[in-house]
Amino acid sequence: MTRTLQEQLIKNGLAKKPMKKRRQKNKIQKSKEQLSKRELEELMGIRRDTFKPVKGSFRKK
């Protein structure tokens, strides 16, 4: 059996075992606020004014 230097040192008591890394759970806060359909559409950019060019300037449609 071939062992690494680290494993040999651990067996002989000359080195400490490496500590395992603990996984940290990301705490995600759930939004308790209920948004209406219209508010969601505004956030997504669906309900924006539309402009079209008229003689070099832009005007609302």
Instruction: Give the global pTM.
Output: 0.32
The answer as to whether 27 is a domain residue is no
The answer as to whether 18 is a domain residue is no
Band the pLDDT of 24: cuts 50, 70, 90: low
The answer as to whether 53 is a domain residue is yes
Could you tell me the residue range of the domain that residue 60 belongs to?
36-61
Residue 8: pLDDT over 80:
yes
The answer as to whether 25 is a domain residue is no
Using CA atoms, how far apart are residues 15 and 22, in angstroms rounded to an integer? 21
The answer as to whether 10 is a domain residue is no
The reported pLDDT for the residue numbered 26 is 67
The reported pLDDT for the residue numbered 5 is 82
The answer as to whether 4 is a domain residue is no
Using CA atoms, how far apart are residues 5 and 1, in angstroms rounded to an integer? 13
Number of domains in the chain: 1
